[in-house]
Structure formats: structure tokens, C-alpha cells
Amino acid sequence: MHTLDSETGGNGGFTKGMGFHLNSLEGTINLQLRIFPMKCSAPCKIILFGEHAVVYDKLGIAAAIDEKTFVEVSEGDEGIEIVWRGESLRISETELFNKLNLFRQFYKNRDFEKLQSFSYYDSLIVVIAECMSRFGYRNLKIEINFDKLLKGIGRSSSVYVAMSLAISNFLGHNLSVEETSEIAYLGDIIVHAGTPSGIDTNTVTMGGYLSYRKSTGINKLKIGYKLPLIVVDSGESSQTGTTIKLVKRLKEEKPKYTDQILNEIDLISSGIVESLQNQNLEQIGKLMYRNHELLRKLGVSTDRLDSIVKIGMENGALGGKLTAGGGGGCAIILTRNEQEALNLVGKFNELGYNALYTLIGVEGARIE
């Protein structure tokens, strides 16, 4: 599921101030156990095309955005202390590995209903425990920081990736890109109801623009410009786990209807790569809007997301669509240039939305 293309290689490790580099044939480099804190970052991401369809082996297009999560790991006093947005959680070594074992049991048996009883903090605990099951236990303090709490931009995946990278390096191991994504993916299994596509953790780990299909893996796209695109938060909580189950149920009840929609989304994603590389903004915008219409047919949009897209189109945008799981979260709006994007951000902010213009296609996870 987490394969890398030949351009990146499967044993790329991380170095300070960089994304990944290629190591020797042995794969990873063992580092000395650290005394001083280890700080790592990972970007968030947006799905440009193909959300929900990727779950059914259709093509998805994603990009890393310049909205980062920072995780700092240092020596702890007793057990594992997680500090996040003013809250602190402490868990013992026994509790840590008991939670991991319970997760492994549920996932092995594909008992996703029982996995739904896991909280977001449980997902953090599972990722931490997986790192330590590989590299050894140590009392740690783990501090998680970020600026904006936008919904539907892969924040959870960003946290899992930055945390996996920081913990592993603090424990003396430089993870490969693939290993980082695989460990972080365990957190996504919990928050995405057990059936995530893998596009989130791969995009956050590798950065840039990616195309992804479950059966063939990752391709890193060469796109040498910055899309004039803004992200608008609907103010509604993203319901990825719920909407994944909704689409699954729709596919079971109306397989022909659902397959037609998923196949058209796949055609859009497959055809958009050339438009992205050629900077054909008009075509990109047109297909973004069509992708949104198809997601509406799947039942994963909301009135507020539809309103965001409508406001964008009425104010000169080239296209717009929900991004990620839907049921809330964010929409993305494409304009002709940066100035139009900034003007549109102002318009949305005047209307009470949280909107931002962000760099797209930025580097992936890194050691700070």
C-alpha cells in the first residue's frame, strides 16, 4: 500500500533541514540515543482530485500545503506525556503497549466497529507504541504544536508523521520515507474507520504533488508552479469515517450508480495530470467543479460546502470543490492568479469564514 516510485526509492532517510535522502543498501542509519530534544515537522495536505474514489482503487491527486505540524520529543520523567493545545495526557508503559496490542487484535480481525471505540488520543498512543515496539521503550515528553486548526487538511496525518519521525530519531533510528508513512498510517486506520487509502500519510511524508492508486502506489508529479488556490474552512467538523461508510453503503445498495460516479472521478483524476503540468487553469477549474458535483451525488458534501463553492464561482473563481472526506471540513477554490486569490480570501473572511492562501506542493516531513 505504501510503495514508492523509482524517483524516491524505498530506503530514503531524513536529514536535518531537508526532506529525504537516499541511504546505503542497508536502508536505515542507526543514530546514537539523544539527550537533547528532537524537533520534526510535517506539512498538511489537500486532495485536489479523487477523494473517496481512491478507496476503490481509483486515482487520487494530492499536494502538501504550507500548514505545518511541529512535534518536539524530549526526555520524560515518568511514562509518556503528550502535550497538545494546552492539554496534557500521561500514560504508563504498560498502558501504552496494552493499547497497541488491543489495536493489533482488532485490526487483524478487521473488527472496525470495536476500533471506533478508540479516541483520537488512542490513535496518538498507538503510533507512539508502534515506534517503541520497533526501537525500544523510553520515558518521553511529546509536545505537538501547530497554528491553525482547519478541518479536512490531513492534520491528523501530519501529527502522526511528525511524531513518528521525531520519536524514531530521538530513539536513535533514522526512518526511511516508507517506514515513516507506514507507522503514521496506523493512526489513520483509527480516525478513518479502518479503511483509509494511504494517500494522506504518503503525501504528508513525501511532500510535493502526488498521484496515488492503491494497486500501483505513489507517483511524484513534476509540477513547477504554484497553483493560485485558497482553502476555506466550512466551520463544520470533517466526518471522514462517517462519509467513507456512507459511500460504502451506497455502493452496496446501488452498485451501478455508485460505480459510474467513481469511474468518472477516476477519469477526471487521470486526465487532470496533463492539465496540471501544462498550467491549464481553466480546465483545472472546470474539472474541479465537476468533481465536486460528483461528490455531491455520493452524498458527502454539505450545504455549507456547496455554499463556499458557489460563493467562489460567483466571485470569479475558475472552480472549487470540497477536499478530503467531506461531511464538513474544507473546500478549495481556484483563481487565475495570486492577487485574485488574496481578494477572495478577504471576501470569505468578511463573510465569517476562515480562509487562507497557502503554498502548495511544499516539501514533506523533515527534521528541524
Label the pairing between strands 209-213 and 319-322: unpaired
| Identity at 192, one-letter amino acid code | H
* pLDDT for residue 286: 96
Write out the three cell numbers for 212: 496515488
Of the ranges 3-17, 90-104, 214-228, which one carries the lowest mean pLDDT score?
3-17
Does pTM surpass 0.95? Answer: no
227: left (phi over 0), alpha (psi -120 to 50) or beta: beta
Q: Give CA–CA dist 129/118, Å, rounded.
A: 15
Q: Give CA–CA dist 128/96, Å, rounded.
A: 8
Q: Give CA–CA dist 193/44, Å, rounded.
A: 20
DSSP string, 52-78: TGGGGT--EEEEEEEEEEEEEEEE-SS
Residue 24 has pLDDT above 60, yes or no: no
Label the pairing between strands 80-84 and 140-146: parallel
Q: Give CA–CA dist 359/357, Å, rounded.
A: 7
pLDDT band at 33 (very low <50, low <70, confident <90, very high): low
The pLDDT tens digits of the residues spanning 286-333 come to 999 999 999 999 999 999 999 999 999 999 999 999 998 888 889 999
* pLDDT for residue 235: 87
The pLDDT tens digits of the residues spanning 121-177 come to 999 999 999 999 999 999 999 999 998 777 778 889 999 999 999 999 999 998 888
pLDDT band at 268 (very low <50, low <70, confident <90, very high): very high
Residue 26 has pLDDT above 50, yes or no: no
Cβ atoms < 10 Å from Cβ of 66: 14
- If you count them, how many residues does the chain have? 368
CATH classification for the domain delimited by 12-222+362-367, as one of 3.40.1390.10, 3.30.230.10, 3.30.830.10, 3.40.50.1820: 3.30.230.10
| Residue 63 dihedral angles phi and psi, to the nearest 5° | -145, 145
Q: Do residues 324 and 27 touch, judged by C-beta distance below 8 A?
A: no
- Please tell me the chain's helix, strand, coil percentages from 3-state DSSP, rounded to the nearest 5: 45, 25, 35
CATH classification for the domain delimited by 229-357, as one of 3.90.1650.10, 3.30.70.890, 3.30.70.260, 3.30.420.240: 3.30.70.890
CATH topology identical between 12-222+362-367 and 229-357: no
Q: In terms of Cα–Cα distance, which of 93, 97, 99, 45 is closest to 69?
A: 45
Percent of the chain beyond pLDDT 90?
Answer: 64
Q: Give CA–CA dist 368/365, Å, rounded.
A: 9
* pLDDT for residue 28: 40
- 255-263: long-range contacts, CB 8 A cutoff, minimum separation 24: 258/298, 261/294, 261/297, 261/298, 262/52, 262/53, 262/56, 262/58, 263/58
Extents of the domains making up the chain: 12-222+362-367, 229-357
pLDDT band at 237 (very low <50, low <70, confident <90, very high): confident
* pLDDT for residue 115: 86
